[in-house]
Amino acid sequence: MPDSIHLQNDAGGVRTPNAGRPSGLPIFSTEPLTEAERQQLLDLQWRCQSAALQIDLCLGIDRVDVALDTLQSVSSDVGIRSTEIALKLGSNR
């Protein structure tokens, strides 16, 4: 069965497909990520790498003010997104 489809009991006890990973399962480090989970992590990685490149370029042209603004902005954004992803992964496993 694909990672993104799981069976669950509905209110009448009938097994029906569920689009997401069922909640409440124990966390197994060997369990593969769903495509949506993987994409969220790749998006977070891209945001970090993009910000690092922008900061490096700003420092290269002596724009420390812009580099610091970028660092502050990305730190907040990445912190929020990583917490959201961690909570989602934890609750979905």
User: Looking at residues 78-82, what average pLDDT do you find?
Assistant: 86
pLDDT of residue 14: 58
State the residue for tokens 């497909």.
17
Is residue 16 scored above 70 in pLDDT? no
Where in the chain does DSSP place strands (E)? 6-9, 15-18
State the residue for tokens 């569920």.
18
State the residue for tokens 């069976």.
7
Question: Can you tell me the distance from the alpha carbon of 73 to that of 76, in angstroms, rounded to the nearest whole number?
Answer: 5
User: Looking at residues 34-52, what average pLDDT do you find?
Assistant: 89
Is residue 65 scored above 50 in pLDDT? yes
Q: Is the pTM of this model over 0.75?
A: no
Please give the share of the chain, as a percent, with pLDDT higher than 70: 62
With both helix axes pointing from N to C terminus, report the angle between 64-91 and 35-60 in degrees, rounded to the nearest 10: 170
